[in-house]
Structure 1
């Protein structure tokens, strides 16, 4: 599967409507972003079961601000609508592959329990599974 452009209108639906979503926050003027783009694209071809989305931080400034993007490229990964990975910086192919494999191996029941525990500690309520 090739990468898909995400916007404020499609971001939430994409994240909530798919099991695993990787999001690359980038800008056209960013050299490291341009070097990471083919690595991200290649990974998208190798993992048709994962959605690979790209967000142009210049065109989607409000979305980038909402995601608290302060450095690009930034890679975020969502599994079952939960943010499970976020890291700025361009990754080499083998590192990206390792991250994808770890995301696929996550015990999501454990992740949901950790999220609920963290929210309870902050005085919030846990989302219902």
Structure 2
């Protein structure tokens, strides 16, 4: 099965349909996606997609995963205010490659994200399987 190429910048909201905060957050998330055609914004319900997303251990909502290439730049909960996500994206995408590499290896938690939270290939495979 051929995987689908994904944009360099991935912005993934891990949520649950039963979560009222997630439902309220979604419209703004999609509006921000419309402003950033260079990025891939993905809304993933952790219960519906549990078979391939289970290793991420999502405990609170909304949980965001921001990945630039193969670098996981952010993983965690974020206040459900779209301006915070927008500023975070602006900051993380403004980093040079050298700065991004220094950022992701600056502490143990971020260094662990690189092996434990990198979902690029799993997402591409999952999307390709959905198209079959």
- Whether TM-score is above 0.5 comes out as yes
State the match for 1:32 in structure 2.
21
Q: Structure 1 residues 36 and 42 mapped into 2: Cα distance closer, same or farther (>3 Å)?
A: same
After superposition, where does 1:1-129 map in structure 2 within 5 Å?
17-113=6-102, 115=104
Moved more, 21-30 or 90-99: 90-99
> How big is each residue's C-alpha offset from its partner over 1:38-93, in whole Å with a ceiling of 9 and x where there is no partner?
11000001111111011111111243321221222201100012110122144212
Q: Higher helix fraction: Structure 1 or Structure 2?
A: 2
How much is the aligned-residue C-alpha RMSD, in angstroms?
A: 2.8
Contact 1:20 1:80 in 2 (8 A): yes
Runs of 4+ in 1 over 4 A off after TM superposition: 113-119
Alignment coverage as a number of residue pairs: 109
- TM (norm. structure 2) is 0.69
Structure 1 portions without partners, runs of 5+:
1-8, 123-129
Measure, in 2, the Cα distance between the counterparts of 1:117 and 1:60: 31
- TM (norm. structure 1) is 0.70
RCO (CA 8 Å, sep 6+): is it higher in 1 or 2? 2
Contact 1:76 1:87 in 2 (8 A): yes
